[in-house]
């Protein structure tokens, strides 16, 4: 994937150990609120997506791993928390997206649009049919996110692809009146494109997050949204994305 630019931001794939260290430092700051390095064994298996501002400062990152059509998903990060046996039966290559984060205080929506444009290039290039990963809420206390979580039962995965429970600390999605404004921006974006979620959330105390397994069949992305994202991926200006 060639570097892409939108406004004052550019996105590229990490090319060096220094790039990976920069991503790990931003992740630690975003998830833990202090300096350090957020590292695990999955970093070496993944490609790292970096978004930089006009001064070359890292403002967002995520990582991805592609699984072939015949691969099961036991080697994915998400499989630590969810049984993905059924999801692995989804036809075609699958891409796991994880560790998405922003520089604290940075909220420009163009950053997320740019990442989606870059991902679209990768999805198209590798024939990926399903995008999946753990989508996190900041804070591990389920009560903090009850209203937002109550919006998710309408988006639960169909039974024949549903992720089954694996994590010891988990909570069922609440029912009742919900408030989608409390959803993380990445999850809102996923749902707007037709994504499914797990029927439960996992408590991750080490990361101080609560997360749901999210899966987006590429074929379900609304055509207008897909065209807009491909335009970004081609480096063209676009609106309505």
**Residue 213 covered by a domain:** yes
Task: Work out the number of other CB atoms within 10 angstroms of the CB of residue 40.
Answer: 12
Q: How many domains does the chain have?
A: 1
Phi-psi region of 206 (alpha: psi -120 to 50; beta: other; left: phi over 0): alpha
pLDDT on residue 70? 85
End-to-end alpha carbon distance in the chain: 21
pLDDT on residue 240? 40
pLDDT on residue 237? 45
Look at strands 170-172 and 130-138 and give their pairing: unpaired
**Residue 125 covered by a domain:** yes
Per-residue pLDDT of the chain (241 residues; tens, 9 = 90+): 888 998 899 999 999 999 999 999 999 999 999 999 999 999 999 999 999 999 999 999 999 999 998 899 999 999 999 999 999 999 999 999 999 999 999 989 999 999 999 999 999 999 999 999 999 999 999 999 999 999 999 999 999 999 999 999 999 999 999 999 999 999 999 999 999 999 999 999 999 999 999 999 999 999 999 999 999 988 754 444 4
**Residue 139 covered by a domain:** yes
**Residue 135 covered by a domain:** yes
Cα Rg of the chain, angstroms: 17
Phi-psi region of 72 (alpha: psi -120 to 50; beta: other; left: phi over 0): beta
User: 202: domain CATH number?
Assistant: 3.40.630
Query: From CA 108, how far away is CA 105, in angstroms rounded?
Result: 9
pLDDT on residue 1? 82
pLDDT on residue 213? 98
Look at strands 130-138 and 58-67 and give their pairing: unpaired
Within 68-132, where are the H helices?
Answer: 109-126
Tokens read off for 147: 């209203």
pLDDT on residue 142? 97
Query: From CA 66, how far away is CA 71, in angstroms rounded?
Result: 10
Nearest to 59 by CA among 130, 95, 110: 110
Domain that holds residue 177: 63-233
pLDDT on residue 236? 57
Query: From CA 127, how far away is CA 17, in angstroms rounded?
Result: 28
**Residue 14 covered by a domain:** no
Q: What are phi and psi of 187, to 5 degrees?
A: -70, -40
**Residue 11 covered by a domain:** no
**Residue 136 covered by a domain:** yes
pLDDT on residue 6? 86
Beta bridge partners of 130: 94, 217
**Residue 27 covered by a domain:** no
């Amino acid at each position: 994937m060639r570097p892409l630019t939108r406004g004052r931001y550019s996105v590229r794939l990490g090319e060096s150990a220094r790039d990976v260290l920069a991503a790990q430092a931003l992740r630690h700051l975003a998830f833990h609120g202090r300096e350090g390095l957020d590292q695990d064994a999955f970093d070496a298996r993944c490609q790292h997506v970096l978004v930089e501002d006009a001064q070359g400062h890292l403002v967002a990152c995520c990582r991805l791993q592609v699984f072939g059509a015949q691969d099961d998903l036991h080697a994915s990060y998400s499989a630590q928390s969810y049984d993905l046996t059924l999801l692995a039966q989804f036809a075609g290559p699958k891409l796991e997206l994880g560790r998405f984060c922003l520089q604290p205080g940075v909220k420009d929506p163009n950053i997320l649009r740019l990442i989606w444009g870059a991902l679209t290039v990768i999805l198209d290039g590798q024939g990926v049919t399903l995008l999946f990963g753990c989508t996190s809420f900041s804070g591990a206390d389920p009560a903090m996110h009850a209203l937002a979580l109550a919006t998710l039962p309408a988006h639960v995965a169909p039974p024949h692809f549903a992720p089954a429970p694996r994590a010891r600390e988990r909570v069922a999605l609440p029912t009742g009146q919900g408030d989608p404004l409390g959803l993380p921006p990445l999850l809102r974006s996923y749902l707007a494109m037709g994504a499914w979620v797990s029927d439960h959330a996992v408590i991750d105390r080490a990361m101080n997050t609560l997360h749901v397994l999210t899966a987006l069949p590429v074929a379900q992305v609304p055509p207008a949204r897909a065209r807009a994202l491909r335009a970004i991926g081609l480096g063209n200006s676009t609106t309505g994305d």
